[in-house]
Structure 1
Amino acid sequence: MKLLVRDRILGIGDDYWIEDEHGRKVFLVDGKAMRLRDTFELKDLDGTVLVRIRQKMLALRETMTLERDGEPLAKIHRKFLSLLRNHFRVDLADGSELDVSGKIMDREFAVEYDGELLADISRRWLHVRDTYGVEIVRDDADPALLVAVAVAVIHMSEKEREEH
């Protein structure tokens, strides 16, 4: 499954559609303005909230939480920094982990589970300017979760860059 995301700095209050490779709308990212903490909702075509993405308050390091149906789904935080790549860890509610690594600011990164590629986020295969793709490579992967992870790590990276 290939999804297209119009690249822009993800500000709170910004809403945008994520489309499939044929231009059909698949998900709406709804940025919630006027909140004490950064909040986004990933919705389907009917407006049903699939995943709520929130900044975790009172955390020692920048953390975003993902919720589904009001239940914790995952916590995302920076794993460590190196000169060439950014790394985030996604701690899933079931105790497993996803690893997010690559050049987040360049929109060239991957989401892996136990060393196996789940999603590739890239501009490489696109000819549309200011757009990046989310290619979900496993059929049994959760597209809403992987899109929410991409939205969260990009937002966290953009916010960190603005603060420095």
Structure 2
Amino acid sequence: MKYLVRDKLFAIGDDYWIEDERGRHAFLVDGKALRLRDTLELKDPTGLVLITLRKKLLSLRDTMTIERDEATLATIRRKRLSLLRNHYRVTLVEGTELDVSGRLLDREFVIEYEGELLAHVSRRWFRVRETYAIDVVREDADAALLIAVAVCVIRMAEKEREPSDD
């Protein structure tokens, strides 16, 4: 199933809807302002928090955690960087690893498990530049988790691009 995102520059406190392919609200990304660390919540249309994304405060590399029911579900770190593609590794709490690779800032990337495609993020399906889709390929996949991963790595890539205050 494809989910549509109207792209914008992400900032703390920004809220936006992710719609299903029929145009119905599927998930709300709720940016939590005035928090000590970068925090986002992925909610269902009724307002129920499905997943919480948090930036780790003390880590050598930029790291975010994905939490469900206040328990850590996964950790996301940048794997390696090449000139054309970003690579992130998503380590689920039970040890499973997902690989995220592609051009994140262009919204052209994939999420894979052991070489098997789980989700494809692309702008190619749309004429409007500010819109991209998250296509969850496997029917048995956890759509909320894969959408959270996509939102998280895009946010991390945007933050890396920002000039540092050092």
Relative to the length of structure 2, the TM-score reads 0.97
Q: Measure the CA separation in 2 of the matches of 1:118 and 1:135.
A: 8
Quote the residue 1:71 is aligned against.
71
What is residue 34 of structure 1 aligned with on the other side? 34
Hey, what does 1:93 align to over in structure 2?
A: 93
Matched residue type, 1:156: M
Shift of 1:84: 1.2
Q: CA deviation at 1:8?
A: 0.8
Report whether the alignment pairs 1:24 with 2:20: no
User: Which residue does the alignment assign to 1:145?
Assistant: 145
Q: Please give the alpha-carbon distance, in whole angstroms, between the structure 1 residues aligned to 2:103 and 2:140.
A: 25
Q: Which runs of 5+ in 2 are unaligned?
A: none
Q: Quick one: which amino acid aligns to residue 97 of structure 2?
A: E
Code of the aligned partner of 2:9: I
CA distance in 2, matches of 1:79, 1:134: 21
Deviation per CA, 1:9-48: give whole Å up to 9, x if none. 1111000000011210000000000011100000001111
Shift of 1:127: 2.8
Q: Percent identity among equivalent residues?
A: 66
CA distance in 2, matches of 1:155, 1:44: 20
Number of corresponding residues = 164
1:159 matched to 2:159? The reply is: yes
Secondary structure in structure 1 of the residue aligned to 2:110: strand
Q: CA RMSD in A?
A: 0.8
Matched residue, 1:118: 118
The Cα shift of 1:116 comes to: 0.2
Give the unaligned 5+ runs of structure 1: none
Q: CA deviation at 1:129?
A: 3.2
Q: Once the two structures are superposed, what CA deviation does each residue of 1:82-114 show, in whole Å capped at 9, x if it has no partner?
A: 111100000001100000000000000000001
1:157 partner SS: helix
Q: Using the alignment, how far apart are the partners of 2:90 and 2:122 within structure 1?
A: 19
